[in-house]
């Protein structure tokens, strides 16, 4: 009789634990999708978070800001990472989403080291991406054909670059890449190449360009002297709850903002000396 009771108790316990495990699994795992410019920060922060809180899992994926916004709006993921304000993206109902600004990313033109140019006017930079200037010799560089590399159309980095450099116009047709890391690699390996990427992706493999004598530095971003920058947003569908809420609070904690954000080449929102709205207007 004792044996039968023990078996019955064990079976009930197993069912209870199985049900509990399923609940824990559902409640302790979330997914953040979107901006590749923001991806390194969210990945690094999620690893630190998971190390501090074992059993809680943050799945981080890229795909571009457009993907992040559309996926979170559809309820397919808990967090949509974006370089853009939701109001800037067609097909997105910003009223349904809650914005969590976790950092600022400066964006800079990057070039192959052999082009022979270190400074360019905003007007000439615009002309390059509109196809009006096609050789580096036209802007004081070497006699090398300009090879343009764009981010994919859903990229928030591209939208920011086109907004502030091309005055809202669309760059000419050229090779496109989804990944910021791949963009950097191709520019490094391709003579005459030019593209653009977040400061966090800049390495010694490529050169950056000053624009109208202004260097692409964090300090110049904080004062808006360098205007090519964006907030890094983590959007939720409505107010975040449970693990999503906890992780977003962690993203804004001193351990992330005071260490990880700056180590990876981003700028803490708290260090900005100005503020911009979604239309690009400065807010007093």
pLDDT per residue as tens digits for the range 15-26 = 444 444 433 444
Residue 27: band (very low, low, confident or very high) from pLDDT cuts 50, 70, 90:
very low
Task: Assign domain 105-222 to its CATH superfamily.
Answer: Periplasmic binding protein-like II (3.40.190.10)
The predicted model scores a pTM of 0.81
Q: Write b or e for each residue in 45-81: b if 16 or more Cβ atoms lie within 10 A of its Cβ, otherwise e.
A: bbeebeeeeeebebebbbbbbbbbbbbbbeeebbbbb
Q: Which residue has the higher pLDDT, 102 or 198?
A: 102
Q: Where in the chain is the domain with CATH 3.40.190.10?
A: 28-104+230-283, 105-222
pLDDT tens track for 156-200: 889 899 999 999 899 999 999 878 889 999 999 999 999 999 898
Domain 28-104+230-283 adopts which CATH fold?
D-Maltodextrin-Binding Protein; domain 2 (3.40.190)
The phi-psi region of residue 63 (left if phi > 0; otherwise alpha if psi is between -120 and 50; otherwise beta) is: left
């Amino acid at each position: 009789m004792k044996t039968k009771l023990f078996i019955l108790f064990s079976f009930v316990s197993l069912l209870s634990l199985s049900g509990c495990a399923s609940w824990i699994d559902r409640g302790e795992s979330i997914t953040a999708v979107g901006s590749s410019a923001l991806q390194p920060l969210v990945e690094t922060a999620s690893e630190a978070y998971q190390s501090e809180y074992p059993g809680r899992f943050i799945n981080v994926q890229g795909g571009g800001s457009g993907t992040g916004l559309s996926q979170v709006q559809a309820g397919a993921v808990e967090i949509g990472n974006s370089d853009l304000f939701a109001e800037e993206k067609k097909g997105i109902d910003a009223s349904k989403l809650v914005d969590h600004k976790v950092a600022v990313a400066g964006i800079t033109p990057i070039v192959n080291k052999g082009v022979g140019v270190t400074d360019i006017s905003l007007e000439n930079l615009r002309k390059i991406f509109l196809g009006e200037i096609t050789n580096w010799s036209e802007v004081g560089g070497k006699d090398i054909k300009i090879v343009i590399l764009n981010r994919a159309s859903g990229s928030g980095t591209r939208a920011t670059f086109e907004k502030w450099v091309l005055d809202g116009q669309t760059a000419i047709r050229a090779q496109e890449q989804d990944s910021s890391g791949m963009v950097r690699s191709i520019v490094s390996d391709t003579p005459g190449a030019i593209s653009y990427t977040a400061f966090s992706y800049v390495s010694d493999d490529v050169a950056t360009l000053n624009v109208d004598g202004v260097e692409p530095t964090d300090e110049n971003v904080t004062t808006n002297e360098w205007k090519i920058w964006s907030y890094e947003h983590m959007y939720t569908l409505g107010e975040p709850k449970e693990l999503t809420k906890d992780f977003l609070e962690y993203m804004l904690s001193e351990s992330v903002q005071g260490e990880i954000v700056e180590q990876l080449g981003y700028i803490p929102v708290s260090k900005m000396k100005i503020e911009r709205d979604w239309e690009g207007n400065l807010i007093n």
